[in-house]
Structure 1
Amino acid sequence: MNSDITAPTITATDPAQNEVNVSKSQVITVTFSEDIKAGSNWIEVLNSSGSPVPLTTSINDNVLTITPEVPFSNGKHLLLIHTGSVTDLAGNQVAAYVSSFTVDAIGPRVSTTDPANKATNVAATKEINVTFNENIQSGSMWIELVNSSGSSIPLNFSINGKTLTITHEPLPESPYNLLIHTGALTDSNGNPTSPQVSKFSVKSVVTSIDPAHGALNVLITRDLKVTFNDFIQAGSMWIELVNSSGTSIPLNFSINGKTLTITHEPLPESPYNLLIHTGALTDLAGNRVTSQISTFSAGTYVARIEVIYSGTGGDITKNSLVYNSIPHTSTTDQILAAAKKGTPMVTIGTGSGPKVMIVAGVHGNELPAVIAVMKLINDLSKKSMAGTIYVVPFAIPSNTVAVTRYWNGVNPNHVANQAGTPTNKIVTMAKQLKVKALADFHSTQPGGVPGKNSVLCTKYPTYESYKIALSISKQTGHSLIYEYQAGASYPGAVEDVCNLAKIPAVTCEVLSAHGTVASGSVTSSYNQMIAFLRYETLIN
C-alpha cells in the first residue's frame, strides 16, 4: 500500500515570479519540493499576444527545465504548469501553477547625445557622450566618426553604466557624422543596438567676454578675460584695444586653458573696442579663431550707484558753493542724477572683503564733508582696494540744496532710531550690508559744540568705536572726545544708534560755520576719511 499521498509543490522558478528584463533566450527552471517525473506534460509559455511559445522540457531529480525553441518575444510572458503535468515518484499530481515574467528583447536606445544632434560650434577637444535608456556593454564596437571628406577619425571608447564616452585627438573644423552601427553595443541580455547617426560641427568660438559687450564704468585697471568653448593657444596674437581716438593700448597676454587674459596699464576714461583678429588664437587642432569685436567704456571702481531712500531728492547743482567745489566727472554726474531722486549710496569695490560705510550730509548746512566725500569717491574710484566702501555722500540731498539743518522739522541726527527716517534707513543699510564700521562726517560752528576739529566716539557697548576714533585722532591731530555709554547723550544720532547695534561708529567734525566752507575744512574732513579707511586697512 502506497503511503505517500502528498503532491509535489513548486519552491522556486527562474525567472522568478514577476521578474523583468529577462533574456529572450532564457532557459526556464522550476524547482519542486521533491523529485518528479513527467505526467501529462501539459506545460505552456504564452507570449504577450497569448500565443504559445514552442518549447521542450526535461526533468532531472526535482528540477523541471523548459527550453524555448525560438527566442522569446519582447513583453510579458505566462508560464502555465497545468494540473498533473508532472507528478512525484508516487504519482501524486502537481497542482496548477502560474508564473509571469517580462522579456527584454529590444536593444538599448539612445536617450541623449552630447554634443546634441546638429550641434554647432562644438569644441575640437569635446568628449562625445552617448547615453542609453539602459546599461550597455561592448558589442562589435563598430563606431565611426566621419568628417566631411569621408575620413574616419581614430577613437577611444569607455563604458560606464548607460553611457558610452568617446575621446579623440583635437578635431579640425568640419561637419562630423557619428555612426553607431547595429550591434556595436548590447544590453546585459545581449540585445544589440540599432543603427544611430548623430551630426555636429566643430568650430572654436568665444563663449564670454569680461567685461561684457557694451559694459559701462569698467574699472580702469580691470583685466580683460575672453573665454572660448575650447582650449586655446597662441596664433598670430594680433589683438588690439583701441580707444575712441583710434589709439591702440599696449597689452600683455596670458593663456590658461580656455581663457585669454589681457592686462594693461590703467585706462583713461573712454569707450574702447577690443579687436581679436582672425587667427590671433587657435584651438589645439590649429583651427583659427574668427574675428571678434567687443566694446566697453572704462570708468572707475564705482560698482553701483543706487537710491536707498526716496523723498529726499534735490538738485545739488543748485547749491553753487558745493557744485563748484566738487570734481566734475562722469561719476559725479551719475551721483547727482541719483541725488535728484533721493538719498544716493555709492558702492566702491566689488562687494567683497572688509566693508565699511562713510556718511556725509546728515545736516544740509554742513558743507565741507559733502565736498570732501565727493573728492574721496572720485579719488578712490581710480584705485584698487582690499574691500568695499559704501558711501552716502548726501544723506538728505534736498537739505544740502536748501542749506538747512532740519528735515520735516526735526534734526535728522536725533531720529536715526526712528523707523521711516532717512538716517534710520542709513543705519538699516549698514546692518543689512554687514559693515564692520561706519563713520559719519560733519562740521561744527566756531564757539559751538564741540567747536573744533575732533573725533567723537563711545566706549560701551562697542569699544571698537573708541579704537577707531583714537586712530583717526592720532593720524590727523584732531581732538578725541568720548563718552562711556552710547546713546546716553544722543540716543538718536547715527553714531550712537550704530554703536548700540554693535556696529562700531564714530562722528568726525571739522571747524566751519554753517552754510560756509572754511579754509582748510574740506582738506581736514578728507584727511579724517582717509584716516578712517587706513585704520580699517582698506587703503594704504
Structure 2
Amino acid sequence: MIAVLLVLLALPTSGCCEAVWTVYDWGSKGNILKNPVLVQHAPHGPRSEVVYRHSVEGTVVFEFRGGPGPAVLLTAGVHGDEVWTVIALLKLLDALSPTSVIGTVYVIPAVNPAGLAANSRLVDGVDPNRTADIPGSLTWHLVRFALSHRVKYWLDMHCGSGVPRQGALLTDEESEFVDELARSSGFVPLVKSAPRGSIRSVARRFGIDVITLEVPRDAGPSGVERAYHAALAFLRLTGALRRGQSRTPASGSANVTVPVLPAIVPRRRLG
C-alpha cells in the first residue's frame, strides 16, 4: 500500500481545462464493438476511440475539469442492450471541450462493457440496475464513485419499453429542475418510484438525486439525437457548460487505470 501511495504522489497533478480518462476495474470488461448496433452507428472521434480501445480493461470514465464549480455525472450503458444512449454519450465525449466546462463533468458512456459486448441486459443472469445495494457489484461501485467524487447532479441514461414517444425523465418527486429540463429537451417528466437496488434508489439514500432518462428502445438514430441534446440541456441547466461550447475535440494525452486491487499504470491525458 505504501508503494502505491508513493506512485500516486509521484503522478503529475492536473489543472483546469483538461480532459482526463481513467479505467476502473469494477468487474465488467469487454470489446464493446462486438455489439452489432454500436458498431454500425458508433462515432469515431479521439475520445470515443479511447473508450473502444480500453473497455476491454474495464469501465472508462472521462473527467472534464473546468475549475471551480459543481460535479456533474452522465452515465449510459448500465444495460448492455440499451445502445442508443451509449452512442449519445460517445458523441458528447467527442463534442465537449474542456474550456467549455464549469466545475467538473464526468462522462461514463459504457458503464457495463461486458453487457455491451454481449448485447445483454443482464450481468451473470442478474439485472445490474437492481444490485446497486450489493457491495462489490458493478452499480455499487458506480454509486461509490459518485459519492467519492461529490457528484451533485447525475443523469443516468437508458432505453426502455413502454416509454413515451418523446422520451421520459423519471424522478422520485416533482422538481422545478426536472420540469425545466423537460421543457428544454422535449422529454416527458414522470414521477415514478425507483425499484429496490436501482441506481436511483441507492444514490438517493446518500443524498444524490438521480434523473433517469429513457428513450424508447426502438427509437433508432433519432433516439441518439434526442438523448444527446437532452444531455447538453442537462449540462447547461446544472451550470456546468459555458455558452458556445466547441464541437472540435482537442488533442493531447491521458489515462490512469485504477482497478479495485491496488495497481497503477502510467498516466496520460487527452485534451
What TM-score comes out, normalization by structure 1 length? 0.40
Which residue matches 2:90?
Answer: 374
Q: Is the 8 A contact 2:163 2:216 kept in 1?
A: no
Could you tell me how far apart the structure 1 residues matched to 2:95 and 2:226 are? Answer: 16
Which residue matches 1:491?
Answer: 196
Which residue matches 2:102?
Answer: 386
Deviations 1:347-398 (A, max 9, x none): 1125642111001001111111000000101101364221111111111011
- 1:382–1:390: structure 2 CA closer, same or farther, 3 Å change rule? closer
Q: Is the 8 A contact 1:439 1:495 kept in 2?
A: no
Pairwise CA distance, 1:344: 1.4
Pairwise CA distance, 1:342: 1.1
- Counterpart check, 1:413 vs 2:129: yes
Q: Which amino acid is 1:500 matched to?
A: R
1:521 to 223, 247, 256: 223
1:102-141 mapped onto 2 (5 Å cutoff): none
Pairwise CA distance, 1:449: 5.3
Could you tell me how far apart the structure 1 residues matched to 2:25 and 2:166 are? Answer: 31
- Counterpart check, 1:458 vs 2:160: no
Pairwise CA distance, 1:452: 5.5
2:233 to 500, 509, 531: 531
Could you tell me how far apart the structure 1 residues matched to 2:115 and 2:55 are? Answer: 11
Which residue matches 1:183?
Answer: none
2:48 to 310, 329, 332: 332
Identify which range, 391-400 or 466-475, moves more after superposition.
Answer: 466-475
Could you tell me how far apart the structure 2 residues matched to 1:436 and 1:532 are? Answer: 12
Which residue matches 1:99?
Answer: none
1:520 match: secondary structure: helix
Pairwise CA distance, 1:341: 0.8
Could you tell me how far apart the structure 1 residues matched to 2:221 and 2:91 are? Answer: 16
Could you tell me how far apart the structure 2 residues matched to 1:320 and 1:407 are? Answer: 18
1:358 match: secondary structure: strand
Which residue matches 2:183?
Answer: 474
Q: Which amino acid is 2:59 matched to?
A: T
Superposition CA RMSD, Å: 2.4
Q: Is the 8 A contact 1:362 1:395 kept in 2?
A: yes
- Counterpart check, 1:354 vs 2:56: no
1:315 to 5, 8, 31: 31
2:106 match: secondary structure: strand
- Counterpart check, 1:434 vs 2:150: yes
Deviations 1:469-515 (A, max 9, x none): 222111122111014xxxx55121112221221112100011133xx
- 1:535–1:449: structure 2 CA closer, same or farther, 3 Å change rule? same
Identify which range, 330-339 or 494-503, moves more after superposition.
Answer: 330-339
Structure 1 runs (4+) greater than 6 angstroms displaced: none
Which residue matches 2:206?
Answer: 501
Q: Percent identity?
A: 29
Q: Is the 8 A contact 1:343 1:396 kept in 2?
A: yes
Q: Is the 8 A contact 2:88 2:225 kept in 1?
A: yes
Q: Which amino acid is 1:518 matched to?
A: G
Q: Is the 8 A contact 2:194 2:200 kept in 1?
A: no
1:424 to 131, 140, 143: 140
Pairwise CA distance, 1:318: 2.1
Structure 1 or 2, whichever has the larger Rg, is 1
In structure 1, list runs of 5 or more residues that go unmatched: 1-214, 223-300
Q: Is the 8 A contact 2:204 2:210 kept in 1?
A: yes
Relative contact order higher in (CA < 8 Å, ≥ 6 apart): 2
- 1:412–1:467: structure 2 CA closer, same or farther, 3 Å change rule? farther
Q: Is the 8 A contact 2:76 2:85 kept in 1?
A: yes
Q: Is the 8 A contact 1:308 1:425 kept in 2?
A: no
Which residue matches 1:136?
Answer: none
Pairwise CA distance, 1:468: 3.1
Structure with the higher fraction of residues in strand conformation: 1
Q: Which amino acid is 2:190 matched to?
A: I
Could you tell me how far apart the structure 2 residues matched to 1:505 and 1:521 are? Answer: 20
What TM-score comes out, normalization by structure 2 length? 0.77
Could you tell me how far apart the structure 2 residues matched to 1:391 and 1:330 are? Answer: 15
- 1:378–1:345: structure 2 CA closer, same or farther, 3 Å change rule? same
1:304 match: secondary structure: strand
Q: Is the 8 A contact 1:310 1:341 kept in 2?
A: no
Could you tell me how far apart the structure 1 residues matched to 2:177 and 2:25 are? Answer: 28
Which residue matches 1:342?
Answer: 58
